[in-house]
């Protein structure tokens, strides 16, 4: 029988006395434009010790994506892993359960989706410790402000490509925030039955147009899961249930904005 499952991951983090692999940056930060996202990436270390740290960024997103590519590390096809990122500069650490998969080019890739406000700490960071499944890397960071300035420009261009004014983002000193936890807006019961029976899943990235009262005026699919029923359900549910505290200018005036999030659909057979 096919069913939708929720996975409880066991968090295994490195102990303070575990060895740390210190890696220096190689080359420069690369900013890439994609149809639905902006990417930053940079390699660290050389030879068998090399890794790639990357960011997948979306304008107006509640959560951004951080990925860690480890070319020399084996991985099951799909598993949940624990990731911890410590900044050592007064910024709050990031603790997330991540999805690790085999990378097509070899090794494994681990993706986490912390809140965008947490990712903002990278803009001023100079060194981080990142732990993935008990292995700890210490990365020396540089050029972070310039790298994120390039991603900011990419995000403004992306908003324009959607036929929207980037002022929807830049006018707001504080972003729109969910009235209640956004994770509660959609439940297992919302998974389309036909998609469950067909074993269909994927990642839907959707954009909500939030007016100055915090209500949702529209929903658009930024990146499709590849399954129309899943994408349609995402927008139907969000239009019906999503409610926000409105975005505001520095003087407190509420303003319209956009809000973006990712919804991962997963079906397992059992």
Specify the CATH number for the domain of residue 18: 2.60.40
Residue 44 has pLDDT above 50, yes or no: yes
CA-CA distance, 62 to 120, in Å (whole number)? 12
The answer to whether residues 8 and 139 belong to one domain is: yes
Give 82-129 pLDDT, tens digit per residue: 899 999 877 899 999 898 888 888 889 999 999 998 999 999 999 999
Structure tokens at 19: 């060895």
- Does 125 share its domain with 193? no
Residues 195, 259: one domain?
yes
User: What is the CATH classification number for the domain harbouring 173?
Assistant: 3.30.2420.10
**Cα 230 to the chain's mean position, in Å?**
19
Residues 142 and 193 in one domain: no
180 shares a domain with 135: no
| pLDDT over 70 (residue 4) | no
Tell me the pLDDT band of 269, cut-offs 50, 70 and 90. Answer: low
Residue 259 has pLDDT above 70, yes or no: yes
pLDDT, tens digit, 9 for 90 and up, residues 201-248: 988 999 999 999 999 999 999 999 999 999 999 999 999 999 999 999
Q: Are residues 150 and 174 in the same domain?
A: no
Regarding whether 220 and 127 lie in a shared domain, the answer is: no
Which of 155, 176, 200 terminates a domain? The answer is 155
Q: Among candidates 203, 224, 222, 223, which has minimal Cα distance to 101?
A: 203
Total tally of structural domains belonging to the chain: 2
Q: Are 204 and 231 in contact (CB under 8 A)?
A: yes
Instruction: Please check whether residues 10 and 132 belong to one and the same domain.
Output: yes
Q: Which domain holds residue 72?
A: 2-155
- What was the pLDDT predicted at 110? 93
Q: Are residues 227 and 112 in the same domain?
A: no
Cα separation, 204 vs 93, in Å, equals 27
Looking at the structure, do residues 24 and 132 belong to the same domain, yes or no?
Answer: yes
The predicted pLDDT at position 38 comes to 93
The bridge status of strand 135-140 relative to strand 20-23 is: parallel
Which pLDDT score is estimated for 10? Answer: 37
Bigger pLDDT: 76 or 140? 140
Question: Which pLDDT belongs to residue 22?
Answer: 93
């Amino acid at each position: 029988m096919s069913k939708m499952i929720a996975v409880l991951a066991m968090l295994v983090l490195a102990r303070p006395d575990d060895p740390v692999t210190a890696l220096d940056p190689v080359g420069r930060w690369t900013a890439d434009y994609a149809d639905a996202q902006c990417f930053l990436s940079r390699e660290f270390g050389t030879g068998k010790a090399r890794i790639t740290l990357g960011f997948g960024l979306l304008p107006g997103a509640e959560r951004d994506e951080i990925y860690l590519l480890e070319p020399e590390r084996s991985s099951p096809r799909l598993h949940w892993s624990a990731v911890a990122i410590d900044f050592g500069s007064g910024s709050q650490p990031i603790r997330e359960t991540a999805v690790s998969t085999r990378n097509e080019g070899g090794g494994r890739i681990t993706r986490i989706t912390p809140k965008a406000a947490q990712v903002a700490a990278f803009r001023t960071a100079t060194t981080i410790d990142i732990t993935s499944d008990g292995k700890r890397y210490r990365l020396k960071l540089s050029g972070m402000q310039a790298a994120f300035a390039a991603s900011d420009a990419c995000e403004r261009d992306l908003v324009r490509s959607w036929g929207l004014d980037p002022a929807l983002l830049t006018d707001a000193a504080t972003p729109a925030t969910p009235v209640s936890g956004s994770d509660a807006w959609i439940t297992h019961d919302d998974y389309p039955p036909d998609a469950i029976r067909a074993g269909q899943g994927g990642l839907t990235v959707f954009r909500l147009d939030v007016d100055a009262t915090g209500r949702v005026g529209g929903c658009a699919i930024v990146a499709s899961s590849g399954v129309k029923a899943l994408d349609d359900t995402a927008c139907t549910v969000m239009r019906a249930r999503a409610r926000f505290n409105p975005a505001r200018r520095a003087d407190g005036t509420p303003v319209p904005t956009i809000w973006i999030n990712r919804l991962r659909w997963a079906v397992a057979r059992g």
